[in-house]
Structure 1
């Protein structure tokens, strides 16, 4: 079963990641303008939506463990290559999420929710027991000793950009959501209602504590990824998914659904393109030193997203899949 609304949601998640990543890459200091506030709201949310949608895809596609392992291996290799030019890569984390999820591919819905809760609990215990700031230089957002065994394991599972604990909870939650009747209007309404409620309620605990360290732990910022961040981002991801699914018939009637869904089906290729071409262009223009205003980087980001839609339309005249999607399919089939 393929729901075009999921592809549209994936493209929206990609656009959110572009807004956040381009601002970070360009060294733009957030302000109080509308562009800054919107981008601030997407930090840690767009990427979480991406992972939740990946989990939904696992449940809907029902791949066997061998296929998931081969896809994970492909993403891990591509992610490590990407790490050499973009330190906030998420692809190698995706690979680790898939490996952690492999034993749960045929698990019950209840087991998936328990796995999400367990992942969240391990992440919380790690935050309380370990030094989250180890290896980080926050002023430059650089992580030392990543290419050592200790640094790699700490970064991947504890204090990297998207560590397995607790970020894999998003994948488990998506796998659970993928078991629902997502084409049902009732289910879509429940996702919007309960997801929105979770996102809103998760912001309350931080308002009730006065201690700065506790406020950070109880907050909904992605760094560090405390339990209420996971709840808030999970809620917003489910709410957006339900809302987009509900709006897809109207978008289809307006002739917009396929335009928005097509780039969502090639999100892996577009993710690579936004680093190689989008950030590469910024670097060639000498705009990675904070010279751009928040409004300018916002406009550049939205322009790149619009250009991505057009590029995918032209690409689809000659090929059905994006280049990286085709390469992953080819490598998986060849291995088989």
Structure 2
């Protein structure tokens, strides 16, 4: 039986990503009002939830290594195409996470936790030894020399938007979670409680440290992705997933479950749509110059999320899977 809570959590992650990406694309400066604080809190959290849910999906789907590799190739190609119009693409990072996870598909649950910890340790070592700001122009949020071998490797594995080290830890943790009995109320409660505890504990060091450099390294900002960011974001993702699993049956009874779950099953296509249609509309309207206020871009983002639900409902009248989901299924089942 498919767990609607996972699909609902995936749709919430998509909505969080829309709120963050539309504000950044529209160059709306974050403020101190409630809307800005809420959107700020989603930075690095919505994407982390996406990656953790991908890990859960790997464990539940049990793909063989050939299928996993083909998915990685598909996402890598689509991601590189997306990079030509959207610098903060996450799809090619997904491909790299999948490749790193290939040797661990049949590993024990304990090994998956060790893999997550090892990924986290390598990421921390990189922050301590290497220059995180190399190739970055923080004023324009552009990355120089990405299409060189050195720039690509550094961006992909160390200082890009979602580098393999330490972001692949979210995937490994998701794979571990996917091994649990997710339909169990006890497991769901533990996910919420343990996740909330990790989110709080992960935020404490950055709040207590006074030294700016140490506070940045041990803080919970996604840039740079320090160890306590990974802990806090993992906790948030785990708590949200557990909560959605717990309330999923109630939402189904209320008639809302499928409305919220359906777009979650087509998150890949919606991710492309929020760039091509959502940001494309903003660009056509000439609204990528910072002229939109916090409230207007927030309303536009929520409107796009609501529109996504309607578009998926209409699409499902004619097809079961989203266009990119169908293409990925075809590519992974193509005669070997």
- In the alignment, which residue of structure 2 is the partner of 1:136? 136
Distance, in Å, in 2 between the alignment partners of 1:5 and 1:209 is: 37
- In the alignment, which residue of structure 2 is the partner of 1:14? 14
- In the alignment, which residue of structure 1 is the partner of 2:299? 299
2:111 is the counterpart of 1:149: no
- In the alignment, which residue of structure 2 is the partner of 1:31? 31
Distance, in Å, in 2 between the alignment partners of 1:46 and 1:335 is: 35
- In the alignment, which residue of structure 2 is the partner of 1:327? 327
1:335, CA displacement in angstroms?
Answer: 4.1
Distance, in Å, in 2 between the alignment partners of 1:10 and 1:65 is: 24
SS across alignment from 1:202: helix
The normalised TM-score by structure 2 is: 0.99
1:334, CA displacement in angstroms?
Answer: 1.2
Distance, in Å, in 2 between the alignment partners of 1:280 and 1:75 is: 22
- In the alignment, which residue of structure 1 is the partner of 2:76? 76
Distance, in Å, in 1 between the alignment partners of 2:174 and 2:292 is: 36
- In the alignment, which residue of structure 2 is the partner of 1:225? 225
The normalised TM-score by structure 1 is: 0.99
Q: Deviations over 1:224-258 (max 9, x none)?
A: 00000000000000000000000111101110000
- In the alignment, which residue of structure 1 is the partner of 2:118? 118
SS across alignment from 1:161: coil
- In the alignment, which residue of structure 2 is the partner of 1:208? 208
- In the alignment, which residue of structure 2 is the partner of 1:62? 62
Distance, in Å, in 2 between the alignment partners of 1:47 and 1:279 is: 18
Q: 1:165 to 1:335 in 2, by over 3 A?
A: farther
2:178 is the counterpart of 1:171: no
Distance, in Å, in 2 between the alignment partners of 1:31 and 1:217 is: 23
1:17, CA displacement in angstroms?
Answer: 0.3
Structure 2 gap ranges (5+): none
Q: Deviations over 1:121-146 (max 9, x none)?
A: 00000000000000000000000000
2:272 is the counterpart of 1:310: no
Structure 1: 4+ residue segments shifted above 6 A: none
- In the alignment, which residue of structure 2 is the partner of 1:196? 196
